[in-house]
Structure 1
Amino acid sequence: MKTSLYRVVDLMTCAIANMLSDHETVFHGVSSHLPMVAIQLAKQKHAPNLVHLNIPGGVNPASISEECYSSASGNLLKGAEAYFPLEQIFDLSMRGKLDVAFLSGVQFDIHGNVNASVIGSYKKPKVRLPGGAGSAVLIPTAKKAIIWRTKHDRRTFVEQVDFITTRGNVWKIVTPLCIFIFKNGKLHLESIHPTSSLEEVKENTGFELLYDDIKFTTPPTEEDLKLLKKIDPKDFRSLEFK
């Protein structure tokens, strides 16, 4: 499909949906509209038995309605199949039963370290960030931690993070330019989006790019785009890009 027929956010949402498999148990937290939409897309396309968990505790909410202005909204309890509170999600993950956790951060380095705590010195930071919250527990314990980030620049992907909020077990990182995969102790370039190029990824990454072959991310199909409009008519998935 021509790149002019879809947006980067659509590509990222579909790429994330394609990472999810049927029967997996998947969790997203606050400020997570993009993965929330991706979960619903996966359920409608190829993973009808996927289990959707979220902050309010609604298991498999009926839909992401026009009222779901927040990915932590109580509206996600409407029509849900069951109630599963947040503290049990942490317990589920620590018992090795959470297949996928969607999380984010502010800085990432080639070793898969995630910083969500401070920019600059910890004692005298330039910026004090929210901190680890759930990511400090879920990234190390979930079977697969998927990171998404709507910015890809040298301040985000750095040689060494200013502070290690959590480390290890990052599976993939999805950005507006590419997808990284963590293997052999380092981030590797898995695919470049058709809307970007190897040169652009290099220019905006603060560490050396490691890759075997140059691959491109699979673009959305017409069916994908139609489903996205049906699932997310208010375009909540674009909120982080605004």
Structure 2
Amino acid sequence: MAANDSISDLMTCTIANMLLDGETVFHGVSSQMPMVAMHLARQLHAPNLVHLNIPGGVNPSSVKKSSYSSAGADLVELGEAYFPLEEIFDLSMRGKLDVAFLGGVQFDINGNVNASVIGDYEKPKVRLPGGAGSAVLIPTAKKAIIWRTKHDTRTFVEQVDFVTTRGNLWKIITPLCVFEYRDGKLHLDSIHPHTTIEEVQENTGFPLLYDEIRYTKAPTTQELAILRKIDPHNYRAAEFG
């Protein structure tokens, strides 16, 4: 098994275990890992989880044929109902969206998220896609979970180059650890079994805050078996390239 496959399995199972039975959960485009994690949670411990997605499908029966973008028409065709994107925003603003999976490129200890530019806003080194739904969903969803397949000092920085959105994060999961946002700061929630606190600090551009060193639970044999069954094409590892 390739290292990235092992890490993607760990991250996917960790995300699935963050989701509770009965929660209403949304993922957007290019969200293969959360998409698979949501399906895994429904198979394991959260059969009443409501899976919403950007093309508008509700509780798709399978994600085996989903396109690379995690926004394929099959998520609607295999769904129980249709719930369009504009209704997702309304749902969240009414306080009825339990979890939203969102992305970002830079993060700092204060919970600021940058998905807009790298460098000066007027003359950026790189212009990014922008906030899209995150500017609405991070402030309004009950729990905002960010996943990122890179963890280095260019991603976790002392201060983001641009604040696309801020605050109200719940968890950030990376190939090295899980951060939890509390008391206005990112705190280290757990580090993954394959790493060390020294490696996490070396790849983080701000001092780590933690009460004790805790380790992320490794995937169980059952979780891995179901994961391979529901995602035979390994979409969960797509973002590792």
Same fold (TM over 0.5): yes
* Two-structure CA RMSD over aligned residues (Å): 1.0
Q: Which letter maps to 1:223? A: Q
CA positional deviation for 1:38: 0.3
- Return the TM-score normalized by structure 2: 0.97
Aligned in 2, Cα 1:124/1:199: closer, same or farther, shift over 3 Å?
same
What are the Cα deviations for residues 108-154 of structure 1, in whole angstroms up to 9, with x where unaligned?
Answer: 00000000000011011111000000001000000000000000000
Contact 1:23–1:47 (8 Å) recurs in 2: yes
Task: Give the share of equivalent positions with the same residue, in percent.
Answer: 73
The equivalent of 2:135 in structure 1 is 136
Residue 11 of structure 1 corresponds to which residue in structure 2? 10
- CA shift at 1:67, angstroms? 4.5
Query: Which residue of structure 1 lines up, in the alignment, with residue 221 of structure 2?
Result: 222
Alpha-carbon contact 1:180-1:188 (below 8 Å) kept: yes
What is the identity, as a one-letter code, of the residue corresponding to 1:137? V
Q: Distance in 2 between matches of 1:58 and 1:162?
A: 35
Unaligned runs of 5+ residues in structure 1 are none
Residue 70 of structure 1, CA deviation: 2.8
Determine if contact 2:68/2:238 at 8 Å carries over to the other structure. Answer: no
**Counterpart of 1:240 in structure 2: which amino acid?**
E
How many angstroms apart in 1 are the aligned matches of 2:230 and 2:78? 15
Structure 2 counterparts to residues 79-228 of structure 1, below 5 A: 79-228=78-227
- Aligned AA (2:163): I
Report deviation, 1:78. 1.8
Cα-to-partner distance string for 1:4-30 (whole Å, 9 max, x where unaligned): 8x7011000000000000000000000
CA contact (8 A) 1:68 1:76 kept: no
Structure 2 distance, partners of 1:41, 1:204, is 30
2:75 corresponding residue in structure 1: 76
User: How far did residue 65 of structure 1 move?
Assistant: 2.1
Name the SS for the 2:19 alignment partner: coil
- CA distance in 2 between partners of 1:11 and 1:176 (Å): 9
Residue pair 1:178, 1:193 contacting (<8 A) in 2 also:
yes
User: C-alpha displacement at 1:68, in angstroms?
Assistant: 3.4
Q: Tell me which stretches of 4 or more aligned residues in structure 1 moved more than 6 Å.
A: none
Structure 2 residue matching 1:31: 3-state secondary structure: coil
Provide the secondary structure at the position in 1 that maps to 2:210: coil
SS of the residue corresponding to residue 7 of structure 1 reads: helix
Q: CA deviation at 1:69?
A: 3.3
Instruction: Give the corresponding residue for 1:51.
Output: 50
SS at match of 1:172: strand
Unmatched segments (≥5 aa) in structure 2: none
Provide the rounded CA distance (Å) in 1 between the counterparts of 2:69 and 2:157. 30
Task: Name which of structure 1's ranges 197-206 and 57-66 shifts more when overlaid on structure 2.
Answer: 57-66
- CA distance in 1 between counterparts of 2:173 and 2:91 reads 25
Q: Report the counterpart of residue 236 of structure 1 in structure 2.
A: 235
**Which TM-score applies when normalising by structure 1?**
0.97
Kindly indicate whether the alpha-carbon contact (under 8 Å) linking 1:107 and 1:155 is maintained by their aligned counterparts in 2.
Answer: yes
Q: Is the 8 Å Cα contact of residues 29 and 103 (structure 1) preserved in structure 2?
A: yes
Q: Deviations over 1:180-231 (max 9, x none)?
A: 0001100000000001110100000000100001000000000011001101
Post-superposition Cα deviations, 1:43-78, rounded to whole Å, max 9, x if no partner, equal 000000000000110000111023533311111012
Between 1:193-202 and 1:73-82, the stretch displaced more is 73-82
- The answer (yes or no) to whether the contact 1:105–1:115 under 8 Å persists in 2 is yes
Name the CA distance, whole Å, in 2 between partners of 1:226 and 1:115: 36
